[in-house]
Amino acid sequence: MRTGKFFLYIIFSWLLVYLVSETCLASVRSIGKINPNFQGSQMNWIDNDGLFLLSNKSQFAFGFTTTNQDVTKFLLVIVHMGSQRVIWTANIDTPVANSDKFVFDENGRVFLQKGASVVWSIDTGGKGASAMELMDSGNLVLFGEDENSKIWESFDHPTDTLLWGQEFVEGMRLLSEPNSKNLSYFLEIKSGDMILSVGFKTPQPYWSMKNDIRKTINKDGGGVSMASIEGNSWKFYDKSRVLLWQFIFSSNSGSNATWIAALGDDGVISFFNLENRESSGSSTQTKIPSDVCSTPQRCDSYYECFSDKCQCPSGLTSLPNPNCSTGLDSVSSCDRSKSPNTQLINAGAGLYYFALGFVSPSLKGDLNLCKTSCQNNCSCVALFFQNSSGDCFMFDKLGNFQNSDKGSSFVSYIKVSSRGSSSQSGSSNGKHFPYVVIIAISTVLVICLLVYLGYRYYKKKKFPQSPQESSEEDNFLETLSGMPVRFTYKDLQTATNNFSLKLGQGGFGSVYQGILPDGTRLAVKKLEGIGQGKKEFRAEVSIIGSIHHIHLVRLRGFCAEGSHRLLAYEFMGNGSLEKWIFRRNKQDHLLSWETRFNIAVGTAKGLAYLHEDCDSKIIHCDIKPENVLLDDNYQAKVSDFGLAKLMTREQSHVFTTLRGTRGYLAPEWITNYAISEKSDVYSYGMLLLEIIGGRKNYDPTETSEKSHFPSFAFKMMEEGKLREILDWRLENDENDKRVSTAIQVALWCIQDDMNLRPSMTKVVQMLEGISPVLPPPTSSSPLGTRFFSGFLKSTSDEGTSSAPSEYNSDAHLSAVRLSGPR
Q: Which residues are annotated as a binding site?
A: 526
SS3 595: helix
In DSSP terms, which residues pair with 526 in a beta bridge? Answer: 510, 566
3-state SS string over 217-260? ECCCCCCCCEEEEECCEEEEECCCCCEEEEEECCCCCCCCCCEE
The CA distance from 223 to 218, in Å, is: 13
Nearest to 750 by CA among 784, 713, 723: 713
Q: Which of 391, 622, 680, 753 is catalytic?
A: 622
Contact 341, 419 (CB under 8 A): yes
Nearest 10 degrees: Cα torsion 786, 790, 795, 799: 80
Torsion angles phi and psi, residue 207, rounded to 5: -160, 145
Nearest to 58 by CA among 143, 134, 131: 134
Nearest to 315 by CA among 306, 324, 307: 324
In DSSP terms, which residues pair with 739 in a beta bridge? Answer: none
Nearest to 593 by CA among 693, 699, 717: 693
Contact 614, 608 (CB under 8 A): no
Nearest to 508 by CA among 655, 658, 666, 610: 655
Name, in order, each residue with C-beta under 8 angstroms of 524's C-beta and a sequence gap of 6 or more: 492, 495, 496, 499, 511, 512, 513, 514, 566, 567, 568, 569
Name, in order, each residue with C-beta under 8 angstroms of 167's C-beta and a sequence gap of 6 or more: 155, 226, 227, 228
N-to-C CA span, the chain: 45
In DSSP terms, which residues pair with 132 in a beta bridge? Answer: 34, 142
Contact 596, 692 (CB under 8 A): yes
Q: Which residues are annotated as a binding site for ATP?
A: 526
The CA distance from 628 to 600, in Å, is: 10
The CA distance from 232 to 602, in Å, is: 55
Name, in order, each residue with C-beta under 8 angstroms of 739's C-beta and a sequence gap of 6 or more: 593, 692, 722, 726, 732
Contact 402, 356 (CB under 8 A): no
Torsion angles phi and psi, residue 11, rounded to 5: -65, -45
Q: Sort 44 into a burial class: Cβ within 10 Å, 0-12 / 13-18 / 19+.
A: buried
SS3 40: strand
User: Contacts by 150-156 with C-beta closer than 8 Å and gap 24+?
Assistant: 151/124, 151/125, 151/127, 152/122, 152/123, 152/124, 154/78, 154/88
Name, in order, each residue with C-beta under 8 angstroms of 765's C-beta and a sequence gap of 6 or more: 771
Residue 785 CB: number of other CB atoms within 10 A?
Answer: 19
Distance of CA 304 to the CA centre of its chain: 34
CA distances from 774 to 598, 715, 747 (A): 21, 17, 11
Q: Which helix (H) or strand (E) holds 352?
A: strand 351-353
405 is catalytic: no
CA distances from 127 to 145, 157, 204, 622 (A): 8, 18, 38, 49
**Does residue 289 have a cis bond before it (omega within 30 degrees)?**
yes
Query: What sign does the dihedral 245-251-255-261 (CA atoms) show?
Result: negative
Residue 767 CB: number of other CB atoms within 10 A?
Answer: 20
Q: Which residues are catalytic?
A: 622
